[in-house]
Each structure stands twice: as structure tokens, then as C-alpha cells.
A = this chain, B = another copy of it.
Amino acid sequence: MSEALRTDLYQLTMMQAYWRSGHNPHATFDYFVRKIPIGSYLVTAGLSYVLDYIENLNFEDDDIEYLKGQDFDNEFLEFLMNFRFTGDIMAMPEGCIAFPLEPIIRVTAPIMEAQLIETFILNKMNFSTLIATKAARVVYAAKGRAIAEFGLRRAQGDGHLEATRATYIGGCASTSNVLAGKRFGIPVSGTMAHSFVTSFDHEIDSFRAYADTFPSRCFLLIDTYNSIEGAKKAVIVGKELEMRGEKLLGVRLDSGDLSELSKQVRKILDDAGLTYVKIVASGDLNEWKIDELMRKGARIDMFGVGTELITGRPTPALDGIYKLSEVVEHGRRIPKMKLSEETVKATLPGRKNVWRIFDKGKSVKDIISLDDEGISNAMPLLGLAVKKGRIICDRPSLAQIRQTAAENLLNLPDEYKKQDGAPAYPVELSPGLIALRERMVERIRREEISGIRQH
């Protein structure tokens, strides 16, 4: 299916207005985030989708047919039939760490093209980045214990696949989502449901039926009736497995005081010699609850996390934006910026890059610069991904992206990874960018005072 119509109507009406008025300058737009909803950093994700979209962007016959019925100009629609994206895109790779105001994607193209793709970029980047970031927070809270994602049942419908992919980028170890496993090669994991247990007359019958079927990878859900009694029955089945030369992999707790229960269950398992049996915990978990469980010394080896991970609850949307920073007119590059009474709503003018400075392997400061400024002893974060409409960057595998994210997160000092109250990571503007911004602010103010700026 063509994705060209996966855009806001106004992008298409503006396109026709640009096209009709002959006003279609080259323009540069930045995709960035003003404010991170929770925490101090973002883990970027979604670029793969943007690149696939750009590669395949065209209007199919039935798209044109549909637009005909929406009152678009016939000549314009003929133009759309041969439409291809012809611009350049600079981007941070997936798995990069980004901070407020930093361009994550920078698009330079005839303005009508740059506008058309805005909605898709926002839709995909906002969501994948939101979820990869959430996953990184949850993984960080678990201090090395594996996080199994199992949110499919609460995912926002068809958004489940990219959400699962993003949780893996953010560091989750596995997913319950079989389709995502098949599509992306993410390890799949699962235990059993309460209904499996209750469908048998006796809890232990359900455990035995499961253990008989999966003797070498058996997890038992022990909280259906009473977690302690369930643990004792798990011991019986674990011993039966031992007699067959197999080992019970684990038990799952899904309710109650997980910290206290995990300690009691650990003791029951250990006392029976089943020290190798892992304890998995689940039940409306998030980074705060996991953090608390860890602080209480819970004996949990793996966490299953669903709703919060897959929807980003309580902040299900990243308010990333796409703002004009330059227009080229008659060969002249004219920086654009928005002034606002609310300083936070102002934008940064000109074509920009982002540089990261490291100290002893740790990232300590970023600098946003103008494109033609070099920053010494720093690593540029935006790389050319699309040139004249053609994808020219590497396309790392999902495993590589996940590895990149893990390394970048490791390099981020711990203070910025605190669940709450993390300080803002230092992001400075380069001398060139500061000077440009000051010149522009001054000119805008002067024009306002002298009444030149009538708009």
C-alpha cells in the first residue's frame, strides 16, 4: 500500500498552493523535541521507517483518484503522478541519545516536498522514540535483570509492531508478540495464563500438563489461587522434571506484594534445592515500581512489563515538532526562526548539526552548531542519510541498533538516567549559531519597532 496519503490534508493543500503560486523555495526543516515528557534524554528510533517511506514515496492511481474527489486541481494531480522526493535528509542514527532542541532529523528540499513528509516523520519518529526511551528507563531501573515486554493486548492497535521494535532498541530482552518476533527476529518469551490453570480441576494438573509439553522451557504461573501454595506445587513439578533430567526454568508472580512474595518463594525453591529456578514478576509494572522492588531487595530475576512500556503511559505522545529553519531564495540562504513570548517556543535558525563531546568515554556536553562550523574534539551526530532523494546511509540491523543504543546509554553519565529529578544535560549553542540568533533577534525587534515588519 502506498503511504503517500499518510499525511495531513493541509500538507496537500499547501502543496497545491505552493505549486500554483510558483513559490516553492528550497527549505530546511528540523525535527526536534522541545521538552522531554519524562526524564532528561531520548533514545532515537524510527528512522528506518522514514527511509523506507522516502524510498517508496509516490502517489498511486487510486490515491490520485481519491484526491480528484477532494477538489484538487487536475493539473496539480498530474504533477503528483510523477512526484518523487528529491531532497536531502540528515539524521541521527537510530539508538542515538538526543536532548531537547537538538535536530534529530533535518530535511532540505523544495518546500512542498519537505511539507508533505512532515506528518509521516512526526508520526513515526515521535512514537518509536517515545517507546525506545521508555524502554531504556525501564531497563535501567532493573539493573541488569531482563525485561520481557508483553504489552500486545494493551498496545494501540496496529502500532504494536513498531512499539515492540522500539522496546527492543531500548534494551528489552524479549517480547510476547509472536508476529514481532517473526518480523524483526526479536526473541519471544511467554509463560502461561491464569485461564490455563483454572481450566483444569487442580492447579498441579495444569502445571504437569505444561511441564510435559515443554519440559525444557517450562515457566509456571503460581499466583492463580495462592502464590505460596503455588510455589510448593511448582517444587513438586520441578522435582518431577529433575527425575526426567530436565530443569524447571522459572515461576511467575503476577499479583500481591511482589517483593515479599518473591523472597518467600525464593526460600521455598532454595530449600527444595531448586536454586536454579528463576522468578519472573509482572503486574502493571513500570520503571518506578521496578526501582522500588529493587530497593526492597526483591528476589526477582526477570520483569514482565506490558501496558506502560507499549503505550508510554502516562505520556503516550512525544510532542516532537518539525520547524522551518531556512529558506533559499534566488540562491540566497535565508535563516528563519520563530520568536515567541514563551522563550521555550522559539526555534533555532539555519542549517545545523549537533556535536557530542566525550570525556574519558563519557558524553559530557553537546553543542548545536551551524552546518559549516566545525567543532573540534567532538563527534557530529547528524549524518547524511538521503541525498537528492536516494538513501545513501548504512542500514544497520535491529540487533546493531540495539547495541548502539546500549553503548550510548552506557556512555551517558548515571546522573542523567535518574528516574526522577535528573538534571538537564548541557546542550550549548556554538559561537556561530549564537551570533546568527542574536543578529536575527535584533533585526526582528528592529523591524517590529520601526514598523517595517508588517507581514
CA distance A202 to B73 in the complex (A): 25
Q: Is the CB of A21 within 8 A of B213?
A: yes
Asked if B163 and A6 sit within 8 Å, CB to CB, the answer is: no
A226 CB to nearest B CB, Å:
8
Contacting residues, chain B, for A288 (C-beta < 8 A): none
- Chain A contact residues, majority secondary structure: helix
**B9 near A454: Cβ-Cβ < 8 Å:** no
Flag A192-205 by CB within 8 Å of B: 1 or 0 each: 11111111101110
Check A214–B13 contact: CB distance below 8 A: yes
- Chain B min CB distance to A155 (Å): 6
Q: Are B160 and A191 in contact (CB under 8 A)?
A: no
> How many residues of A are in contact with the other chain, CB < 8 A?
100
Q: Give the contacting residue for A123; candidates B8, B73, B152, B189; CB below 8 A.
A: B152
Assembly stoichiometry (copies): 2
The answer to whether A212 and B155 touch across the interface, beta carbons within 8 angstroms, is no
Contacts of A196 in B (CB 8 A): 14, 17, 115
**Is A316 a contact of B312 with CB atoms below 8 Å?**
yes
* B156 and A17 form a contact (CB under 8 A): no
A170 to B92, CA, bound (A): 39
Instruction: Knowing that A70-B181, A199-B336, A307-B319 touch, tell me 5 more A-B residue pairs with CB under 8 angstroms.
Output: A13-B210, A13-B214, A62-B182, A158-B161, A197-B455
Interface residues, chain A, with chain B CB atoms under 8 Å away: 3, 5-14, 16-18, 20-21, 23, 25, 27, 29, 49, 62-63, 66-67, 70-71, 73, 111, 115, 118-119, 122-124, 126-128, 150, 152-163, 176-179, 181-182, 188-200, 202-204, 209-210, 212-214, 217, 224-225, 229, 233, 307, 311-319, 323-324, 327, 336, 338, 454-455
Closest 6 interchain pairs by CB? A159-B159, A9-B190, A10-B190, A316-B316, A203-B455, A122-B153
